[in-house]
Amino acid sequence: MKVNIDKCMHCGACVGTCPQNAVYLNDVVLTFNERCNRCGLCVKTCPVGALKLEAKA
Amino acid sequence: MKTDYDVIVVGAGPAGSMTAMHAAKGGARVLMIEKRQEIGSSLRCAEGISKKGLDKVEIQVDRRWVSSEVAGAKIVSPNGSVFRIDERQAGDEVGMVLERHLFDKAIAAKAAHVGVEIKLKCSATDVIMEKGKVVGIKGIDNGEPYKLTAGCVVAADGYESQVARWAGVETKLKPGDITTCFQYRMTNLKTEPDYCEFILGSTAPGGYVWVFPKGDDTANVGIGVLLSKLKRPGEVKAYLDKFIKKDPRLNCGQPLEALAGAVSVSVPLEKTVADGLMIVGDAARVIDPITGGGIANGCMTGFIGGKVLAKCVEANDFSEKMLMEYDAGWRENMEERLYRNWMAKEKFLTLSDQTLDSVIDTLSTAGVDKMSVFNILKAIKEKHPELVKEFEDLI
């Protein structure tokens, strides 16, 4: 998952929405763990469009 | 075994502070941790609440954290007609607009005054489990990893609701039960300073645009859109920007603050306790599914939960069985109302702009003197019984 830190407002909308509980917000830093299954719900939830699914490596 | 604390509350919002305060009042050794560097910040709230909502949890109104009092509400239909509810005696859903950054600190201060220890910039990253029971938390305290044990961990971590999930209680929401929000605090507006305004229809699919006065020409101007109605990233902010641009009362304004967030508009959790775990506030999904209001309900869960925790301390028993008194207590207080409003939400998000126009037209002629979802639904039941058929018994 790619986080645009210039757009992210650290609101936690993606954290609570994630069905896998794979997102963690430590005050201002968003991290995604291995439970992320690329469902993309967080991308749609983000009120400011700060998240983007990266192409699979 | 001696624990570090009787109760550790994760999250210092109003629900967390209320839980901490009432547990400590009853003699519990309480730690409340907040991952942010300031209680009440950053804000994720439109800040509307009723006086009654605060009375019920015995919080006395203090002018220092009230931004403005409102005379009523205006519900605006898609075609612009206005259904106005006037009431000097404020009702259930709105009545005051708070300064949440001060309100949250004031409730936390009340907790501190009865002995609650507070740590800032202290996050939880997992719960510690032993034989299926929650026995503590681990996390990062100002950069240093820590582990602490407690008789009960209170999940007051808001919409994110991660603590409960770490402990094995499912708090996952469906996209149709999530509203994504964006708000500006704006100034230099030409809106009415005495009314909370709710603008319905396709400008905010499955939700509404709100204008909540913050004194003089300043207001919280925000939007909530149902996640299941969203198609593109960043659409929520775009919906609000578009709305502001075309409204002459708003497009003369300038922003002072921007905030984002999400709220649950679901039915509450099926289970809010486990051995060594209590879930309160937004984390328990007790936000009103119609209004999106959660301050009063969150405070109520803390008010009930804290008192139950004090009993648990006395009995030295933090089992699920003992904590069930909390689960039963908040359900008795609000569960039926939350179910009714969830059913109303499910119905109303299916209505076209034309139907909403006609409902609001008939409501304006019917008149509702007290501003509450219940009273509005009652009026709808009289004039448009077909819209509330599925849950008419609850009205």
The two structure tokens encoding residue B4: 């570090």
Kindly determine whether residue A16 and residue B123, on different chains, have CB atoms separated by under 8 Å: no
CA distance A55 to chain B (A): 16
Pick left, alpha or beta for residue B349 (phi over 0 → left; psi -120 to 50 → alpha; otherwise beta).
Answer: alpha
CATH topology of domain B5-45+101-173+267-336: FAD/NAD(P)-binding domain (3.50.50)
Average pLDDT over residues B237-259: 97
Under 8 Å CB pairs connecting chains A and B tally to: 95
Q: Give, in order, the Cα–Cα distances in Å from B56 to each of B26, B61, B308.
A: 19, 12, 17
Q: Considering only residues B97 and B393, tell me which one the structure prediction assigns the higher pLDDT.
A: B97
Q: Which residue has the tokens 């983007």?
A: A52
Q: Is B68 on the interface with A (CB under 8 A)?
A: no
Average pLDDT over residues B349-360: 92
Model pLDDT for residues B372-392, shown as the tens digit of each residue: 788 888 888 888 888 888 888
**Banded model confidence at residue B362, pLDDT cuts 50, 70, 90:** confident
Model pLDDT for residues A11-47, shown as the tens digit of each residue: 999 999 999 999 999 888 999 999 999 999 999 999 9
Kindly determine whether residue A13 and residue B262, on different chains, have CB atoms separated by under 8 Å: yes
In a domain? residue A13: yes
Q: Considering only residues A34 and B85, tell me which one the structure prediction assigns the higher pLDDT.
A: A34
Q: Which of A17, A20, A35 to mutate to test the interface with B (most CBs of B within 10 A)?
A: A17
The two structure tokens encoding residue B83: 């259904």
**Banded model confidence at residue B86, pLDDT cuts 50, 70, 90:** confident
Which residue spans of chain B are classified as CATH 3.30.9.10?
175-264
Average pLDDT over residues B268-273: 98
- Residue ranges with strand state E in B57-121: 66-69, 72-76, 82-86, 96-98, 117-119
The two structure tokens encoding residue B276: 């060594």
Give the A window 12-51 contacts with B, CB below 8 Å: 12-13, 15-17, 19, 21, 24-27, 41, 43-51
Whether B371 shows a pLDDT value over 80: the answer reads no
**Banded model confidence at residue B95, pLDDT cuts 50, 70, 90:** confident
**Banded model confidence at residue B29, pLDDT cuts 50, 70, 90:** very high
* Total tally of structural domains belonging to chain A: 1
Kindly determine whether residue A13 and residue B260, on different chains, have CB atoms separated by under 8 Å: yes
Q: Which of B144, B162, B265 to mutate to test the interface with A (most CBs of A within 10 A)?
A: B162
In a domain? residue A24: yes
Q: Is B123 on the interface with A (CB under 8 A)?
A: yes
Q: How far apart are CA B59 and CA B48, in angstroms?
A: 15
Whether B368 shows a pLDDT value over 80: the answer reads no
Kindly determine whether residue B258 and residue A47, on different chains, have CB atoms separated by under 8 Å: no
Q: Look at domain B175-264 and name its CATH class.
A: alpha beta
| Residue B98: per-residue pLDDT | 96
Q: How many CB atoms lie within 10 A of CB B283?
A: 33
**Banded model confidence at residue B91, pLDDT cuts 50, 70, 90:** very low
Please tell me whether the peptide bond between B67 and the residue prior to it is cis, using omega within 30 degrees of 0: no
Three-state SS sequence of B305-319: HHHHHHHHHHHCCCC
Q: Give Cβ neighbours of residue B346 (< 8 Å, ≥ 6 apart).
A: none
Q: Which residue of A has its CA nearest to B44?
A: A11
Q: How many CB atoms lie within 10 A of CB B221?
A: 27
Kindly determine whether residue B125 and residue A24, on different chains, have CB atoms separated by under 8 Å: yes
Residues of chain B with C-beta less than 8 angstroms from the C-beta of A6: none
Average pLDDT over residues B124-135: 98
Which residue spans of chain B are classified as CATH 3.50.50.60?
5-45+101-173+267-336
In a domain? residue A57: no
**CATH code of the domain containing A17:** 3.30.70.20
| Residue A49: per-residue pLDDT | 96
The two structure tokens encoding residue B390: 């599925």
Q: How far apart are CA A43 and CA B151, in angstroms?
A: 38
pTM: 0.95
Residues of chain A with C-beta less than 8 angstroms from the C-beta of B121: 27
Model pLDDT for residues B194-210, shown as the tens digit of each residue: 899 999 999 999 999 99
**Banded model confidence at residue B176, pLDDT cuts 50, 70, 90:** very high
Model pLDDT for residues B56-67, shown as the tens digit of each residue: 999 999 999 999
Q: Is B226 on the interface with A (CB under 8 A)?
A: no
Segments forming the whole domain that contains residue A27: 2-52
The two structure tokens encoding residue B264: 């649950």
- Kindly state the helix (H) or strand (E) to which residue B114 belongs, with its residue range: none
Average pLDDT over residues B207-228: 97
Q: Is B138 on the interface with A (CB under 8 A)?
A: no
The two structure tokens encoding residue B198: 């709710």
| Residue B88: per-residue pLDDT | 60
In a domain? residue A35: yes
Give the B window 33-62 contacts with A, CB below 8 Å: 35-37, 42, 44
Average pLDDT over residues B296-316: 98
Compute the 3-state secondary structure of chain B and give helix, strand, coil in percent, each to the nearest 5. Answer: 40, 25, 35
CA distance A8 to chain B (A): 9
| Residue B379: per-residue pLDDT | 83
Residues of chain B with C-beta less than 8 angstroms from the C-beta of A21: 162, 165-166
Nearest to A27 among B35, B161, B260 (CB): B35
Residues of chain B with C-beta less than 8 angstroms from the C-beta of A46: 180, 233-234, 260
Whether B366 shows a pLDDT value over 90: the answer reads no
Whether B89 shows a pLDDT value over 50: the answer reads no
CA distance A54 to chain B (A): 14
Kindly determine whether residue B233 and residue A52, on different chains, have CB atoms separated by under 8 Å: yes
Enumerate the H helices of chain B as residue ranges. Answer: 14-25, 51-55, 100-113, 162-166, 235-246, 295-315, 320-348, 353-366, 373-383
Q: Which residue of B has its CA nearest to A18?
A: B172
Whether B275 shows a pLDDT value over 80: the answer reads yes
Whether B282 shows a pLDDT value over 60: the answer reads yes
Q: Which residue of A has its CA nearest to B165?
A: A21
